[in-house]
Amino acid sequence: MALFDRKTDEENVTGDAATRALSVAAVENDFVEGVYDKLAKVYDLIFGPTLHPGRLAAIQRMNIQPGERVLEVGVGTGINLSLYPREAVVTGIDFSSSMLEKARERAARPDAPPVRLLQMDAADLKFADDSFDIVYAPYLISVVPDPVKVAREMRRVCRPGGRIIFLNHFLSPNPVLSRIERLISPFTIHIGFKSDLDLPAFVAQADLEPLSIEKVNVPKIWSLVTCVK
């Protein structure tokens, strides 16, 4: 059964998913870094409790086994680090040095699981092919300049049979809400995300096939998307 109903949104039938625009908003790496450098001190306060149910659902969906290699793309302040089992081999990358500084403070706590933290561009991952069992992007893919390039890099470094997981807000299938999200997207990027990233177009252009799509958080306007390579 198809996971997308392509007839539910008037905009979604104006072009093939593999070719239509992902968003009306465009950003550059320097802009993204500037936004998150400013957010670093208040990120946990603003986006911590509100988005935490989605983080818990993602960890549960991963079902991480002892020794599995996990890459978190966009580790941010390290808010997820305490959720990982100690038996996992976790690597976190982020483009923002200010966010990574907060993550390193978390990783240095006595009760923190072991983790490797690296500054890196998500669109140019410095890892070999098939390096990880799970590649996870929490609340990241709608702010990067090129979501498709990031997703393809995530797919590249994931081993065959491994899981690629996105936790994110995507364009609503409701035609009224989707128009509003298109209108406000150039403004929402200033608080860290594009409000109108088109999920069917995104996965089609990234050559990914979702295994499951679950709505998370309250209100349920965020999606937990699980793909298998």
Mean pLDDT of 187-214: 94
pLDDT at 8 over 70: no
Q: What is the pLDDT of residue 191?
A: 85
Q: What is the DSSP letter of 3?
A: S
pLDDT at 181 over 80: yes
Q: What is the pTM for the complete model shown?
A: 0.90
Measured CA to CA, the distance from residue 55 to residue 161 in angstroms comes to 22
CATH of 11-228, one of 3.40.630.30, 3.40.50.150, 3.10.180.10, 3.40.50.300: 3.40.50.150
pLDDT at 194 over 60: yes
Residue 17 · residue 6 · CB < 8 Å: yes
Q: What is the pLDDT of residue 31?
A: 86
User: 19 to each of 22, 154, 198, 206, how far by Cα in Å?
Assistant: 9, 21, 11, 11
Q: What is the pLDDT of residue 157?
A: 98
Q: What is the pLDDT of residue 7?
A: 40
Convert the pLDDT of each residue in 58-113 to its tens digit. 999 999 999 999 999 999 999 999 999 999 999 999 999 999 999 999 999 988 88
Name the average pLDDT for the chain. Answer: 92
pLDDT at 32 over 90: no
Higher pLDDT, 110 or 3: 110
Question: For residue 5, what pLDDT band results from cuts at 50, 70 and 90?
Answer: low
Angle between helices 29-39 and 97-107 (to 10 degrees): 50
For the CA atoms of 163, 207, 171, 168, the dihedral, rounded to the nearest 10 degrees, stands at: 20
